[in-house]
Chain A
Amino acid sequence: MNVASFTSAPLARLRGVRHLYGKTLALDGLDLSLPSGQVLALLGPNGAGKTTAISLLLGLQRADAGSADLFGLPPQALEARRRVGVMLQSAAVPDTLKVRELIDLTRSYYPQPRSVADCVALAGLDGLMERRYGQLSGGQQRRVQFALAVCGRPALLFLDEPTTGLDIDARQTLWKAIRELSAQGCAVLLTTHYLEEAEALADRVVVVNHGRAVAEGTVAQIRARVSQRRIRCSSSLPAAQVQEWPGVQLAQRDGERLEVVAEFAEPIVRRLLAEDATLSDLEVQRAGLADAFLALTRDATQKEAA
């Protein structure tokens, strides 16, 4: 095996993928590439297409157009999936099997599995091994699912909404385990609709909405895109005209209110006041990460509608 080409080739890749559920377009030309060792977060609202992207990469569905590959192979190839661990959003693990048995079984699918003791330590399963899965709390079940995802010593871990429904403590514990794996060189593809989760874990974030990537970058870059200023005011100036001003990233009208997005607020505010003497209700906000995220996904929606 050529190590150099191996490390530079993406572990998982979607190219121009379109996918329909009935008449609903779930993915609309999504490109995605995950290099080795990276933690990539797919961030987006429910229904954005995140889970569809993961099921295509795992070979659970075939794309209507475009291609998906895992380790350079079709995702249906067993050799590719033997290097992958999965935690699905709606995982049904047999209730009547004990935790030890579930781990035993899943380990048998992999050529070089992690030791049972390692799995217990990573997922925090102390004292749960002899319990039946159905007797565990929701948080404990999630930890077992995580153990099943990591027990094969995967080079790539898929985590679909791993902390949905977990309390804060359980979420922190899982985050810690994901960081530990990442430190050992395991690449992670994570979907989430929690911004904090992307912020806490991800090297790179792809914001997905309506089946398309609407923003991509490091957490800092995404935050920078979000740390724009939003200027809102009541003004009669046409949005189309303001949009042309230097420094304005977006200008739009919401009834009486004019909303302007710019990296620096001051020059824009100065010009707004100069050009519209009747301007009132001026407010300037620094967008938070959540605001930025909402803005990114909303902008994409509007562009689509236009």
Chain B
Amino acid sequence: MSTLVAPPFSSTRAYLLEARYEFLRLLRTPSFSLPCLLFPPVFYLLFGVLLGGKGGPVAAQYMLAGYGVFGVIGVALFGFGVTVAMDREQGLLTLKRAQPMPPGAYLVAKMAMALLFAAIILSLLAVLAAGVAGVQLSATQWIAWATTCLVGVLPFSALGLWLGTLVSGRGAPALINLIYLPMAFLSGLWVPLTMLPPVLQTTAPVWPAYHLAHIAQQAVGVGAGRQLGLHVAVLAAITAVFFVLARRRLVH
């Protein structure tokens, strides 16, 4: 049996193009890109700035933290969940596995796509926050806020990936909305938790978004500085658990 002498070949270009075209593909899908890019800024403007603008600078900062988290979670859940469900159902995942696509490129590309969308959303929110809502943060706080939200893409990508392995492409948006929207509300992303009934305040920590929101609030200088490690640990655990679950279902 002859052995193959593979010519030296770098997969870097494949990774880059996979990411680039994953981004273009979703950008050109208005049913994904419009809600994902526009809902967080519009909601922020309506609820965070126009309705919630009377609460002073602390409230404005709280809102910025919440809507930043809301925006990146949407991109992560929909960008992974819906596309993975569709790719599985329609056979693109099978084709990619048959083609010599570098094995990590599929997920790396989706991750890059989600980060890029998240960065666009965060930029829009930052412009609105600084320009319209009058939020004033130090450079360190701006960077901490953006970094928290971007890193926060990870756990929700893992969750989205797992959801995408459970349902069909048609069922995925419904399932994800059923989790995303209640979770956003019950984690205090839209309105401060203190305005919710006490029972919802005590159950809020069961939602992954609650923990990311707490880190984001501390980044912009509101909220108590305790338990940062706990929130990070919870999010890390969520990332690991759902990634392993998703991987098991994808390999089956």
Contact = CB atoms under 8 A, between A and B. Distances in A.
Instruction: Give the interface residue-count category, chain B.
Output: 20 to 34
Nearest to B96: A109
A168 interface: no
B21 A93 contact: no
Contact of A109 (B1, B14, B25): B14
Contacts of A55: 98
Given A79-B6, A80-B4, A111-B9, A152 B100 contact: yes
B24 interface: yes
Instruction: Give the interface residue-count category, chain A.
Output: 35 or more
Contacts of B24: 96-97, 101
A138 B9 CA distance: 34
Contacts of B90: 90, 92
20 contacts: A1-B4, A78-B100, A81-B98, A82-B100, A88-B95, A88-B98, A90-B91, A92-B92, A92-B95, A96-B25, A96-B28, A97-B25, A105-B17, A105-B18, A109-B99, A109-B101, A111-B6, A111-B7, A112-B7, A148-B99
B227 interface: no
B29 A96 contact: yes
B94 interface: yes
A78 B102 contact: yes
B98 A58 contact: yes
Contacts, number: 93
B249 to A, nearest CB: 16
A79 B98 contact: no
Given A83-B4, A109-B14, 5 more contacts: A79-B6, A96-B25, A96-B28, A108-B17, A109-B100
A161 to B, nearest CB: 13
Interface string A72-91: 11000011111110101011
A5 interface: yes
Interface string B161-188: 0000000000000000000000000000
A61 to B, nearest CB: 10
A101 to B, nearest CB: 6
Interface string A234-265: 00000000000000000000000000000000
Contacts of B103: 78
A96 B6 CA distance: 34
A72 B91 contact: no
Interface string B1-43: 1111111010001100110010011001100000000000000
Contact of A92 (B1, B9, B29, B87): B87
A60 interface: yes
Closest A-B pairs by Cβ, 3 of them: A92-B90, A111-B9, A96-B28
Given A105-B18, A105-B21, A108-B14, A9 B100 contact: no
B97 interface: yes
Given A9-B2, A72-B4, A79-B6, A94 B98 contact: no
A106 B28 contact: no
A92 B95 CA distance: 8
Contact of B95 (A1, A6, A86): A86
Interface string B64-106: 0000000000000000000000010011101101111111000
A184 interface: no
A180 B174 CA distance: 48
B17 A104 contact: yes
Most buried by A among B4, B6, B97, B98: B98
Contacts of B5: 1
